[in-house]
Structure 1
């Protein structure tokens, strides 16, 4: 068990794999589902509007919890900055591709129109997502790391639900206001943001058994269970 930032940097078997999965999920959540408001008709409630990105984004918090719980805040901080850079690159390249003149023909003209519809607002979605993701992810990681010390490593479920509640509130509040205010009706922006917060928290509760399974597996295989007792919690660094 590691509990000091003065320990030498270790190399882990599964950290890079989790990092890659984290980045893929993050990109999917922002470029496949983020721009779509979906609806489901619930019994006794009626139409319930939610963002389609909910299919992906809570999984990134799942990975964030695992990274902080097993490897520590600094390793999750590196993952957050990597995800931030991936989002920035994807947003820039989306605008570059849209700006390229399409080849002649009806098919390509229709294709260009579709790309502009889907990705034309990607700069705003990506900017909102990067700000919300950055703030929410660091809030999630900070709360989890502090709760781990407070609970002396017991009651993992309290840490993952509590940290996701804080991080999800910060993320949902910022993202939908920054990305869609003025594009969607204001009441719909608020409704979707509130729905996303509750759905993310509910998803985390449902995923608790899987979280225990993965965390215990990694702690055993990596021989690591990090406590951030001497960690510098500044988000403005990448070094572990």
Structure 2
């Protein structure tokens, strides 16, 4: 279909230079911001609700916001290709490392005499390196799995069935993320029994996948708008899918 100046062209990932994109930086910043805030604010808190028939059910408090990073990741991969999404994932990983290091330094600095906020500060920002490490491993595995599955499904389906690709990749990525993070971070710690961990893992997986499905119309709108305005539709026909490099 001829769309004039906004004509969408099918391009291989390696055929597009960085200067061809007008909105890539905005999407990249959105991804990193959502990732940092969801890990900083909601990762360690466990909440409970009383469900009919089931009873008390546990879930991670960050579940309502962290999946947004996967949705933004889907947009990155679908519009700009796996190679550029991989670069952004590594940037997000580096931001997580810096956030953890900064929190450790700030919490470890001796408080001024008369300042009474140290205990509260440690409670909010003093996550153990076990939690930080589990978060980084889970993020790395889940985001790369999500991006690889989405990119390869796009090639296999010839760009059709976006809803199936976004939800399918989320099932894999979010499943890995939840399955890795909670056992690594909390197994054997106070308040986190094996049953509680299993409940939270299941809850996180179901709720994150449900979020992805519910926001599918938004994903369609953003993806189609960006493709039209960027004038491209990137396919990873010849992309090297190794996660162990950041170069496009």
TM tier, smaller: over 0.9
Match of 2:211 among 190, 203, 208: 203
Deviation of 1:43 after TM superposition, in Å, equals 2.7
**Is residue 45 of structure 1 aligned with residue 51 of structure 2?**
no
Shift of 1:3: 3.8
By how many angstroms is 1:5 displaced?
4.2
List runs of 5+ in structure 2 lacking aligned partners. Answer: 1-8
- Taking a change above 3 Å as real, the CA distance of residues 208 and 8 of structure 1, as seen in their structure-2 partners, is closer
Kindly report which structure 2 residues correspond to 1:62-101, keeping only aligned pairs within 5 A, or say none.
62-101=71-110
1:50 counterpart SS class: strand
Instruction: Give the structure 1 partner of residue 25 of structure 2.
Output: 16
Match of 2:5 in 1: none
2:201 is aligned to: 193
- Separation in 1, partners of 2:187, 2:78: 35
> How far apart in 1 are the matches of 2:195 and 2:123?
23
Q: Which moved more, 1:176-185 or 1:116-125?
A: 116-125
Shift of 1:29: 1.1
TM score, norm. by length of structure 2: 0.92
Aligned pairs for 1:27-42 (under 5 A) are: 27-42=36-51
Whole-angstrom distance in 1 between the partners of 2:144 and 2:184:
18
Equivalenced residue count is: 237
Question: Structure 1: 5+ residue runs without aligned partners?
Answer: none
> CA RMSD, aligned part only?
1.2
Q: Is the 8 A contact 1:80 1:137 kept in 2?
A: yes
Deviation at 1:224, TM superposition (A): 1.4
Alpha-carbon deviations, 1:41-85, whole Å to 9, x = none?
223322221001112110000001000000000111011001000
**Per-residue CA distance 1:180-238 (angstroms, 9 max, x = gap):** 11222121112101110011111000011101000000000011111100001010111
Q: Is the 8 A contact 2:76 2:84 kept in 1?
A: yes
